[in-house]
Amino acid sequence: MYQFTIIVPVYNEEDNLERVEKELLAYTKIATKKTKILFVNDGSKDKSQTMIEAICARNEAFSFLNFRENRGLSAAIKAGFDAVDTELLGYIDSDLQTAPEDFNLLLAQSNTYDLVTGVRSNRKDSFVKNMSSTIANGIRRAFTDDGMDDTGCPLKVIKTEYAKRIPMFEGLHRFLPAMILLQNGKVLQVPVQHFPRVAGTAKFGVWNRLLGPLMDCFAYLWMKKKYINYTIESKG
């Protein structure tokens, strides 16, 4: 029945989840592909899991994975990749600083491209957050040569067969376009809307926006050198 799964990582987002339910449910009614939602609760310590279970109980298209303990954003995304059974998957943050309806802009390009990522137009974050993200993106772009202006944008559509081949490690969610390029896939960036966070607190600060990505770049270079890539010509 379903063609597209949206992965929603959650960590202590009880103040946002009712809005997440409302907006994603509304999106399923206008989506250009039959869509379902997969929450991945990354060991939240608030009421997030209780709320997620209630949301899934009243909405057929919603399901969840619940981590025993907090393992980080990359682990949550990887668990989502492993669980998806649709041809396409997407990813959006539970703070909803990007708009679910913009998935349709990305899906429109999904026949031609293997990963389509949003670029946050007119970002509504603080000067410090914007500047640290700009610097981090510049560092990643210098190391990966992926041509992406905003790899941290939490709005992406990926062909599932490519996503499942990504060897995820902590921090590697920042390198998804580069990891698709390693598979000789095609990537595209599309401008999307961006909004201020209206509830909850940000999970990343200046320190882990700059130092973490720099360290991860060296891990990416090692992985690029060692990456196994092949194409099967025929079977028998």
Question: Three-state SS for 7?
Answer: strand
Residue 234 lies in a domain: no
Residue 125 lies in a domain: yes
- Res 14 pLDDT > 70: yes
Residue 8's CATH number = 3.90.550.10
84 closest CA partner among 109, 65, 57: 65
Residue 155 lies in a domain: yes
Residue 232 lies in a domain: no
- Res 46 pLDDT > 80: yes
Task: Tell me how far the alpha carbon of residue 138 is from its chain's centroid.
Answer: 19
Residue 231 lies in a domain: no
Higher pLDDT, 28 or 132: 28
- Res 207 pLDDT > 60: no
- Across 41-63, average pLDDT: 97
Question: pTM of the predicted model, to two decimals?
Answer: 0.84
For residue range 85-97, list pLDDT tens digits in order: 999 999 999 989 8
Domain hosting residue 157, numbered range: 4-226
Residue 30 lies in a domain: yes
Tokens 């310590």 belong to which residue? Answer: 45
145 sits in the region (left: phi over 0; alpha: psi -120 to 50; else beta) called left
Residue 216 lies in a domain: yes
- Across 71-96, average pLDDT: 95
- Across 178-187, average pLDDT: 92
- Res 212 pLDDT > 90: no
User: Among residues of the chain, what percentage have pLDDT more than 90?
Assistant: 58
- Res 83 pLDDT > 60: yes
Greatest distance between any 2 Cα atoms in the chain: 58
Which range (139-143, 165-169, 218-222, 230-234) has the least confidence?
139-143
Tokens 């709005």 belong to which residue? Answer: 155
- Cβ atoms 107, 73 nearer than 8 A: no
Average pLDDT, the chain: 87
pLDDT of residue 67: 97
Instruction: State the total domains in the chain.
Output: 1
